[in-house]
Structure 1
Amino acid sequence: MSKYFLYCAGYYPYLNEIFIIGVIGRWEWDNILNLMARVNQLLEHEDYNCYMEKISGLEKERRFCKHGFEHGLNVARVAYAYMLETGEAILPKEVVYAAAFLHDIGRWVEYQTGEDHAEVSARLALPLLEVCQYSSEDIQIILQGIREHRRQPGDNLTPLGEALALADDWARDCRHCSAQTQCYKFNYTMKQIMF
């Protein structure tokens, strides 16, 4: 296999950067391919999967949106797109995706005790992020975003907190939901295509 790879050119307006055709080494290519390695490590972690199983079991009869892997992935995609579109703060994709996958992991505790799942999720996320070797700076950004995800946009949130708060609603398929009239979160704008 070749030691070098050709990469393409393009312009990314939100970062105001021009990418030029060039050659990258094998090491850089491997880094590109492993861009989401820590997120994948997180998703394979025993504790993460244990929390998700608990949530799934407790939401088995739930009529409203569930909070499993699919919800986390949808929130990740919408939050990341929102951050790119607004250009306010560009965080690494791994940071946004980690926050999105972890933002509801404490729901099972809320179902059992009534404790706010945003706070519980942040507590449960900390050791997972450390094991997955996120930097202390990234960990603080992720934990704050998780804590803020239930608040209203415009409440002086961090960029990640705002992205998660919006994505948590926008990532739901309210247009086709049979529980619209009973859902406390539903409003007409949630039927609109946002992202």
Structure 2
Amino acid sequence: MKRVNRILVHPRFQIYKEEIKKWEEDRPFCGHDVSHLLDVARIACILSLEEECEVSKEYIYTAALLHDIGRPEQYAHGTPHQQASVKIAAGILKDCGYDEEETAAVLSAVGNHRDAARASQTSLDWLIYRADKLSRGCYVCDVEEICDWAAAKKNQILTY
């Protein structure tokens, strides 16, 4: 997990983390802070163990930490955050010592975390997609009734 910890202190990760915080300061809905990123990682790890996916914890944490890093680009310019996240994450992964194959696997999960059809291509993609959705606590949300998520997407019961 040394490389995962390098991501957490990477200057670009820190900059984008702070940008997300600023953009979401007055947002009443689910946020995309480090708590959310870690929730996604931990839920994906549980799913991986339960389903015997044999995806490494390091890959799961790496993809989870980077899957929403492009949020500021979405807020500022309308760029889908999964696309912006792929571009930003590529440089961070290189700086943190990931090789081309590892980078491709992580970037696939980051880029596909919002699309069920595309996310089902690899185990890591599918784990991050599902964990991202399962991380949302709609069952205790004070603004759930005004959230624009479709009712079918909302987590109305605690699963993980």
Fold similarity call, TM over 0.5? yes
Tell me the C-alpha RMSD between the 2 structures: 1.6
What's the counterpart of residue 23 of structure 1?
A: none
1:66 aligns with 2:31: yes
Q: What's the counterpart of residue 49 of structure 2?
A: 84
State the AA in 2 paired with 1:128: I
Partner of 1:97: 61
Contiguous gaps of at least 5 residues in structure 2: none
1:106 aligns with 2:70: yes
Q: Residues 153 and 178 from structure 1, CA distance in 2 versus in 1: closer, same or farther, beyond 3 angstroms? A: farther
Q: TM-score, normalised by structure 2?
A: 0.93
TM-score computed with the length of structure 1 as normaliser: 0.77
Please show how residues 28-43 of structure 1 align to structure 2 within 5 Å. 36-43=1-8
Distance 1:154 1:141, change over 3 A: closer
Alignment of 1:5-16 (within 5 A): none
Tell me if the contact between 1:104 and 1:121 (Cα under 8 Å) persists in the aligned partners.
yes
Post-superposition offset of 1:153 = 5.9
Write the distance in 1 (CA, Å) between the matches of 2:2 and 2:132.
24
Note the C-alpha offset of 1:193.
Answer: 2.4
Is residue 52 from structure 1 mapped to residue 17 from structure 2 by the alignment?
A: yes
Greater share of strand: 1
SS of residue matched to 2:116: coil
1:104/1:50 CA distance change after superposition, 3 Å: same
Contact kept in structure 1, 2:23 and 2:75, CA below 8 Å = yes
SS at match of 1:190: coil
Partner residue, 1:176:
140
Q: Deviations over 1:34-83 (max 9, x none)?
A: xx111111100111000010111000000101101000000000111112
Structure having the larger proportion of residues in helix: 2
Runs of 4 or more, structure 1, over 6 Å off, are: none
CA contact (8 A) 2:115 2:129 kept: yes
* Amino-acid identity (%): 33
State the aligned residue count.
159
